[in-house]
Amino acid sequence: MKAENIVTLTMNPAIDVSAAVKHMITDHKIRCLKTKRDPGGGGINVARCLKRFGADPLAIFPMGGASGHMLERLVAGEEVRHQSFVIARDCRANFTANEMDTGAQYRFVLPGPTLGEEEWNAGLGLMTQASSNGYAVASGSLPRGVPHDFYARLARNLRVMGGAKLVLDTSGPPLKHALDLGVYLVKPSLSEFSDLLDTATPDHQACLAAARNLVVNGKAEIVALTMGADGAMLVSRDVALYAKPPPVTVRGTVGAGDSFLALLVMSIANRKSLAESFRMAVAGGSAALLSPGTGLCMPDIVAELTPQVQITSMI
Ligand SMILES: Nc1ncnc2c1ncn2[C@@H]1O[C@H](COP(=O)(O)OP(=O)(O)OP(=O)(O)O)[C@@H](O)[C@H]1O
Ligand SMILES: [Mg+2]
75 CA to centre of ligand 1 in angstroms: 24
Nearest atom in ligand 1 to the alpha carbon of residue 247 is: 4
Residues with CB under 6 A from ligand 1: 189, 191-192, 226-229, 231-232, 245, 250, 253, 256-257, 260, 282, 285-286, 289
Burial 226-265 (b: 16+ CB within 10 A, else e): bbbeebbbbbbeebbbbbebbebebbbebbbbbbbbbbbb
State the DSSP H helix or E strand holding residue 217, giving kind and residue range, or none if neither.
Answer: none
Return the ligand 1 atom nearest residue 171 CA: 25
Do the beta carbons of residue 306 and residue 280 sit within 8 Å?
yes
CA 150/CA 193 separation, integer angstroms = 19
- How many Å lie between the centroid of ligand 2 and the Cα of residue 1? 31
Q: Give dist(CA 203, CA 183) in Å, integer.
A: 24
**How far apart are the C-alpha atoms of 298 and 264, rounded to whole Å?**
15
Judged by its nearest atom, the ligand closest to the C-alpha of residue 294 is 1
The architecture (CATH level 2) of 6-25+32-313 comes to 3-Layer(aba) Sandwich (3.40)
Q: Which residues contact 125 (CB under 8 A, 6 or more apart)?
A: none
Minimum CA distance residue for ligand 1 atom 24:
189
Number of the ligand 1 atom closest to the C-alpha atom of 190: 17
**Which residue's CA is the nearest one to ligand 1's atom 23?**
189
* Whole-angstrom distance, CA of residue 80 vs CA of residue 262: 14
Active-site annotation holder among 16, 149, 169, 258: 258
Nearest C-alpha to atom 28 of ligand 1 is from which residue? 228
Residue nearest to atom 3 of ligand 1 (CA): 229
pLDDT for residue 53: 97
What is the C-alpha to C-alpha distance for residues 75 and 209, in angstroms, rounded to an integer? 40
The tens-digit pLDDT sequence of the chain (315 residues) is: 567 899 999 999 999 999 999 999 999 999 999 999 999 999 999 999 999 999 999 999 999 999 999 999 999 999 999 999 999 999 999 999 999 999 898 999 998 999 999 999 999 999 999 999 999 999 999 999 999 999 999 999 999 999 999 999 999 999 999 999 999 999 999 999 999 999 998 899 999 999 999 999 999 999 999 999 999 999 999 999 999 999 898 887 888 999 999 999 999 999 999 999 999 999 999 999 997 655 799 999 999 999 999 999 998
Mutate which of 260, 265, 291 for ligand 1? The one with the most ligand atoms within 8 Å of its CB, which is 260
- Ligand 1 atom with least separation from CA of 227: 17
- Look up 300 and say whether it is catalytic: no
pLDDT value for 182 = 98
By alpha-carbon position, which residue is closest to atom 25 of ligand 1? 189
Ligand 1 center to 253 CA (angstroms):
7
Measured between alpha carbons, how far is 9 from 59 in angstroms, rounded to an integer?
A: 6
| Residue of 274, 281, 282 lying closest to 245 (CA atoms) | 282
User: Quick one: which atom of ligand 1 is closest to the CA of 281?
Assistant: 31
Distance, CA 245 to ligand 1 centroid (Å)? 10
- Residue 28 CA to ligand 2 centre (angstroms): 32
Ligand 1 centre and the CA of 28: distance in Å?
33
**Minimum CA distance residue for ligand 1 atom 12:** 285
